């Protein structure tokens, strides 16, 4: 079974023409509708899930473009 490609914060930022800080903060605050940001219990660390479809819809490209950039 092939695992789906992971879309990193860095990849999303590059595709959007924004900084990684913009993507992280936008997701943390719930202002960037491209996936989920979750703070790890008892920690200041965050984990991010970026949906290829949501990112593609947000920036107006096909899912294939997003997956090819991953």
| Stretch 6-11: mean pLDDT | 96
Sequence-ordered list of residues with C-beta below 8 angstroms from that of 23, at least 6 positions apart, any chain: 9, 12, 13, 16, 32, 34, 48
Residue 43, judged by CB atoms within 10 A of its CB (0-12, 13-18, 19+), counts as exposed
**3-class DSSP state for residue 47?**
strand
What was the pLDDT predicted at 5?
Answer: 83
pLDDT, tens digit (0-9, with 9 covering 90-100), for 14-66:
999 999 999 999 999 999 999 999 999 999 999 999 999 999 999 999 999 99
Q: Higher confidence at residue 1 or residue 25?
A: 25
**pTM for the whole thing?**
0.88
Q: Which pLDDT band holds residue 4 (cuts at 50, 70, 90)? A: confident
Taking alpha carbons only, the member of 10, 6, 51, 46 closest to residue 32 is 51
């Amino acid at each position: 079974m092939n695992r789906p490609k992971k879309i990193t914060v860095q990849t999303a930022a590059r595709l959007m023409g924004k900084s990684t800080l913009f993507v992280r903060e936008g997701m943390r605050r719930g202002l960037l509708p491209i996936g989920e940001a979750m703070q790890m219990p008892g920690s200041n660390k965050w984990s991010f899930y970026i949906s290829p479809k949501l990112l593609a819809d947000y920036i107006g490209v096909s899912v294939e473009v997003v997956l090819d950039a991953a």
